[in-house]
Amino acid sequence: MRTEESVADRSRDFVALMRCEAGDHWFPEAVAQLQSWLREKKFDVNLDVAGDQATRTASLTVRPLSGKGRDLRVRLVEPTRAGTWTTDLVLHDEPGSEDWISLTVRNSRGEFVSVPRLAPYLMQVLPLGDGAIEFSDSPQVFGAADIDRLIDLLTDSTRHGLVFVAGTDNKIPFDAFRRKVKEWTKEVYGLAQVVVLDPAATRALAEHVGAHFTTPAWTIRTYQPGVDFENRLDSRRHRILGTNRLATQSDKATRILLGEIARQQASTRPADPALQRVLRRFERSENQRLVEDLSRPAEPVTPIVELPPPTPPEPSHLVVEPPGILAEGEAQLALVRRVLGIDAITEEALIRAVSPRVDKTAVEALDERVNTLQSRKEELEDERTELHAVLEDAQLELEVVNLDLDNRDGKIAWLQARLKERGDYEAAYLSVPDEYSISRPGSFGELLDRIDAMETISFTGDQSVVLKLGVSDTNDSALRTAWDAVLDMGDYARARAEGNWGHGLDLYLKCPPDGYRATTAGKFGQTETAATMKAHGAERVFPVPPEVHSSKRIEMKAHFKLARIGMVSPRMYIHDGHPNDPRLYIGYIGPHLTNTQTR
């Protein structure tokens, strides 16, 4: 039977790899916790024996392996109305080697996977961690004396998971904030470590690592593995969830956001080599088992019970068979012996001849296995295609940037020459005054904060969608373009208010009046195709204030193309209220919406 087709996006799965520092005698305790969890699922099984079981609501596969150490893989599949939930657990115990537990829970429809009950069952009885990460169901409080330990944790390149660090000062009660952080980080248990710095530790961290890498007070910063404090550019990898966002959005929204950040990082990181080796052992063993099943008889042949021969009646006269009938019988027996490949027609020979029958159940299992492998092959091919597209997009984007830099360098050289012609030799080489320097937001959260402070532009969309862009926009290309677009729209609104422009945004970006900026003309699309709007127009209806439209929603076709990032390739959709309303509304900043070219 084929399993339900799964979604390509695995960024909401629970994917944990936990190292075990309990020596070489932890395996039975882990097995006991696993059996307890399985009993809750109505399975009471011996995990030392390979087997497959099923109930009306779930199916269970148990595969133990032995060799240099001991391995156990258990998979539970539970079809529900919300999709198929698959729990995959692998225990690895090898004397003299690193022991670990891999726990993955997936949903076929991409539903958010909360921390599974099995995770705390294991973590509460075993010393599980991830590199320098210590898993705990509550945030750990660090003081100034713990800063060296924190820096070691942040710089650890062997950890797979994230470290969430919350900063504080003396302006807000510390215990109340710590309790909030515990609430916000419930869904990162087993995936990340959470640290709350007291005010002294917050100041000490800033002194040790500098402004670019520190965690400001009343924010939560996400530190990726292997922080490089010597490389200032590396600070861009480690995002900050700002004070305003924490204060204004709901606790649930913050909890889900942090949980999704942890899950996306866990599901997209490179596969651990040790885990990959063990999984391949299981796969090879499973393939061998299925092949061996094909050579077994479907059902054991029931031995023939010999009965005593009946006593023949006394013949009244002797019947003699004609010679032709005897010859025909001998010929048929010879044919049977030749077809079956036997010398004599005996019970043992006949059983041996018919025993290599194919088991229908084994064939079905092999078919499912082949389908699974084929699906994985197709996934890898899709990933390769997408990565190739990302590479091409990145190369194109780089070329566009280089052309823009060439044009800008040429213009600078020309302006410097003009200044020299007028005798202004000093201005040609002075540093750019601060008022002409562009201050850029450091995250999408800060972008939203800056938009909120603007009088002529409002963001009316889903902020959680915007904030998640920081995970895929690793080099801030989309963030940079978004801010350029906001600045251009701000100057467009100013030009209209000052009476220096009376046309739409599209023409303004192409031919701005003197003294107003316009840098994103090549990124702007005034509308969508008719085919896209007919098929997917509903996706492009976004919230607006009631004074803009009585339904509080309006169709937005105009958009900025923020960056080329594979299938994400973010977009910003806007509504221009001019000439009746002197404001612009941003209804959406997020991944590329569906169009006629979407695969």
How confident is the model at residue 356, as a pLDDT?
Answer: 58
SS3 113: coil
Beta strand pairing call for 457-459 and 584-590:
parallel
Rounded to 5 degrees, φ, ψ at 573 are: -100, 135
Check: CB of residue 109 under 8 Å from CB of residue 82.
Answer: yes
Q: Which residue has the tokens 């012996």?
A: 337
Given the structure tokens 């005593």, which residue do they identify? 308
**Average pLDDT score over the chain:** 86
Q: Which CATH class is domain 14-109?
A: alpha beta
pLDDT above 60 for 226: yes
The band of 348, judged by pLDDT with boundaries at 50, 70 and 90, is confident
**Residue spans per domain, the chain:** 14-109, 131-248, 435-590
pLDDT digits (tens, 9 = 90+) for 532-552: 898 899 999 999 999 999 999
Residue 475: its pLDDT value, please? 84
**Cα(195)–Cα(483) distance, integer angstroms:** 31
Judge whether residue 232 has pLDDT over 80: no
Q: Which residue's structure tokens are 């695995």?
A: 10
Write the pLDDT tens digit of every residue in 91-137.
Answer: 999 887 789 999 999 999 989 999 999 999 999 889 999 988 988 88
Q: What is the pLDDT at residue 269?
A: 80
Least confident range from 252-261, 309-318, 417-426, 563-572: namely 309-318
Amino acid in the structure at residue 117:
R
Select the more confidently predicted residue: 238 or 595.
238
Whether residue 582 has pLDDT greater than 90: yes
Q: Output the pLDDT for position 520.
A: 85
Closest-CA residue to 557 (of 569, 545, 574): 574
State the Cα–Cα distance between residues 342 and 575, nearest whole angstrom: 86
Of 70, 64, 37, whose CA–CA distance to 49 is shortest? 64
| 401 pLDDT more than 50 | yes
446: amino acid identity, one letter: E
Q: Enter the pTM of the model.
A: 0.66
Q: Which residue has the tokens 């820096």?
A: 151
For the CA atoms of 482, 487, 492, 494, the dihedral, rounded to the nearest 10 degrees, stands at 150
pLDDT value for 354: 66
Walk across the sheet containing 457-459 and list its strands: 457-459, 584-590, 571-576, 559-561, 524-525
Give the model confidence (pLDDT) of 472-516 as tens digits: 888 898 999 999 999 999 999 999 999 999 999 999 998 899 989
pLDDT over threshold 50, residue 1: no
Classified as helix, coil or strand, 220 is strand
Given a contact cutoff of 8 angstroms between Cβ atoms, the answer to whether 193 and 153 are in contact is: yes
In three-state secondary structure terms, 330 is helix
Coil vs helix vs strand at 227: coil
- State whether CATH 3.40.30.10 applies to domain 131-248: yes
- What pLDDT, on the 0 to 100 scale, is given for residue 3? 44
Percent of the chain with pLDDT over 90: 55
